[in-house]
């Protein structure tokens, strides 16, 4: 199978099901940002310590799910193409993982600055890309009918990436840096 098809040389691309749209279409912006997120999760995996087996397994699972998110976004609801759509069960699985990770974390009492170990810092970057993907999907949903579970899933995924970054820092003894305003408070 050749990697190039030349069919996109005119500035269009094919969706699952056969429709062709411009490469700047909001649908492509949405699933392209999901693909970018997937790449950042792959990069985050390279920063994990060799003994971070739980985080490694979770990130691989999330990367696989992001392929399904991308396929869901690349397949209009009217398409007859057979794909796996994101369901409430996918979102609930993310919530369960958040709850599991939070059992060992100290309660969050203030905003924290992104950072810590290289892996945690990269997970914070991935979290911000996930938020951008969510914004892209939200914009797409204003123009076309999409699977409504995608927005809930991406919202929860960004929460999971935040908690996972905290968990990675916590398991490696890295203290969180609280946010403090750099400006003095105005007196009233």
142 vs 78, residue with greater confidence: 142
Q: Does residue 7 belong to any structural domain of this protein?
A: no
Q: Does residue 129 belong to any structural domain of this protein?
A: yes
Residue 115, pLDDT above cutoff 60: yes
| pTM, rounded to two decimals | 0.89
For residue 157, what are the CA distances in angstroms to 1, 78, 97, 179?
33, 26, 10, 23
Count of structural domains within the chain: 1
Domain carrying residue 45: 21-171
CB of 157 closer than 8 Å to CB of 92: no
Q: Does residue 73 belong to any structural domain of this protein?
A: yes
**Cβ atoms within 10 Å, residue 57:** 10
Q: Round the average pLDDT of the chain to a whole number and report it.
A: 90
> Alpha helix (H) ranges present in the chain?
26-47, 53-73, 88-102, 118-143, 149-171
pLDDT, residue 67, reads 96
pLDDT, residue 11, reads 66
CB-count burial class (<10 Å; 0-12, 13-18, 19+) for 96: exposed
Q: What is the CATH number of the domain that holds 35?
A: 1.20.1200.10
Tokens of 167: 């968990």
CB of 44 closer than 8 Å to CB of 59: yes
Q: Does residue 159 belong to any structural domain of this protein?
A: yes
Q: Does residue 1 belong to any structural domain of this protein?
A: no
Q: Does residue 181 belong to any structural domain of this protein?
A: no
pLDDT, residue 151, reads 97
pLDDT, residue 103, reads 96
Contacting residues for 68 by C-beta, under 8 A, at least 6 apart = 83, 84, 86, 90
Give 176-181's long-range contacts (Cβ < 8 A, gap of 24+).
176/112, 176/113, 176/116, 177/112, 177/113, 177/115, 177/116, 178/110, 178/111, 178/112, 178/113, 179/110, 179/111, 179/112, 179/113
Q: Does residue 82 belong to any structural domain of this protein?
A: yes
Q: What is the mean pLDDT of residues 166-174?
A: 95
Q: What is the mean pLDDT of residues 32-44?
A: 97
Q: Does residue 116 belong to any structural domain of this protein?
A: yes
Q: Phi and psi (nearest 5°) for 20?
A: -115, 140
């Amino acid at each position: 199978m050749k990697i190039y098809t030349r069919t996109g040389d005119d500035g269009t691309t094919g969706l699952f099901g056969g429709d062709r749209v411009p490469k700047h279409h909001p649908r492509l912006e949405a699933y392209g940002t999901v693909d970018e997120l997937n790449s950042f999760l792959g990069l985050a995996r390279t920063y994990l310590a060799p003994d971070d087996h739980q985080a490694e397994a979770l990130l691989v699972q999330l990367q696989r799910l992001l392929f399904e998110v991308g396929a869901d976004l690349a397949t209009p609801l009217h398409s007859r193409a057979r794909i796996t759509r994101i369901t409430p069960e996918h979102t609930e699985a993310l919530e369960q993982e958040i709850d599991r990770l939070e059992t060992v974390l100290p309660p969050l009492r203030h905003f924290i600055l992104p950072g810590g170990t290289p892996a945690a810092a990269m997970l914070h970057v991935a979290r911000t890309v996930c938020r951008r993907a969510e914004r892209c999907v939200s914009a797409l949903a204003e123009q076309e009918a999409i699977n409504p579970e995608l927005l809930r899933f991406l919202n929860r995924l960004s929460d999971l990436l935040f908690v996972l970054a905290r968990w990675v820092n916590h398991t490696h003894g890295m203290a969180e840096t609280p946010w403090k305003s750099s400006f003095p408070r105005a007196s009233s």
